[in-house]
Amino acid sequence: MRVLGIDPGCETTGWGVVEGNARQYRLLEFGAIRTKAGQKFPARLAHISREIEEVISRHNPDACALEDGFLATNLKVTLKLGQVRGVAMLAAERAALDIHEYSPRLVKQSVVGYGNAEKHQVQEMVRVLLSLKSLPEPQDAADALAVALCHFHHAGLAQRILATESRMKLSSSVIRRPASG
């Protein structure tokens, strides 16, 4: 499976593409989409959308994992982040990707083992899990890679649960007839 992880941001949107399964993965590419400070917000959204579409076109992922929104102290910032997330989701939906959303706390819990982990701890664990020689920069890209890794952990769990449920249904549907004598 190939996953595009996205950490939405108004000024910097991190992204990373990881390939693998719940036990093994490898980094394909990562980066950040930066918008210009003086640019009108709709133009920033259009730029983010085009860049995400380009990444999707280049790597052809199977799924998109997005960091879910959180409530910032400033309502205006929260709304803008929601719009960036919407643009990212739209780009993924247009490419017919399987879209999943994960809270920042769950991402940290999945990657670091602690839901209140610091940003540098997430960055270091991403480096370790992907066997990188140096920390992934910028931090937004490291966060996007963490979201992709979180998806591998949770997608693998979901697949195992579905497989177990299927086996249980199959075994309960088998009717045993007594031997006739």
Model confidence over 129-148: pLDDT tens digits? Answer: 999 999 999 999 999 999 99
Q: Which pLDDT belongs to residue 127?
A: 96
Type of residue numbered 87? V
Q: Which pLDDT belongs to residue 156?
A: 59
113-124 per-position pLDDT tens digit: 888 888 899 999
| Distant-in-sequence contacts of 121-124, Cβ < 8 A, 24+ apart | 122/146
Residue 45 near residue 165, CB atoms below 8 Å: no
| Distant-in-sequence contacts of 115-122, Cβ < 8 A, 24+ apart | 119/143, 122/146
Q: Which pLDDT belongs to residue 77?
A: 84
Cα 44 to Cα 75: distance, rounded to the nearest angstrom: 19
41-83 per-position pLDDT tens digit: 999 999 999 999 999 999 999 999 999 876 667 788 889 999 9
152-172 per-position pLDDT tens digit: 988 855 555 444 555 555 555
State yes or no: pLDDT of 106 exceeds 70.
yes
Pairing of strands 63-67, 98-102: parallel
Indicate which residues carry an active-site annotation.
Answer: 7, 67, 140
Number of helices (H), then strands (E), belonging to the chain: the values are 5, 5
Type of residue numbered 103? S
State yes or no: pLDDT of 179 exceeds 70.
no
R_g of the chain computed on alpha carbons:
20
Q: Cα dist. 129→74, 136, 142 in Å?
A: 34, 12, 12
Q: Which pLDDT belongs to residue 73?
A: 73
Supply φ then ψ for residue 55, to 5 degrees. Answer: -65, -45
Sketch out the chain's domains with CATH numbers.
2-173 (3.30.420.10)
Q: Which pLDDT belongs to residue 12?
A: 95
Q: Which pLDDT belongs to residue 161?
A: 46
pTM, entire model: 0.84
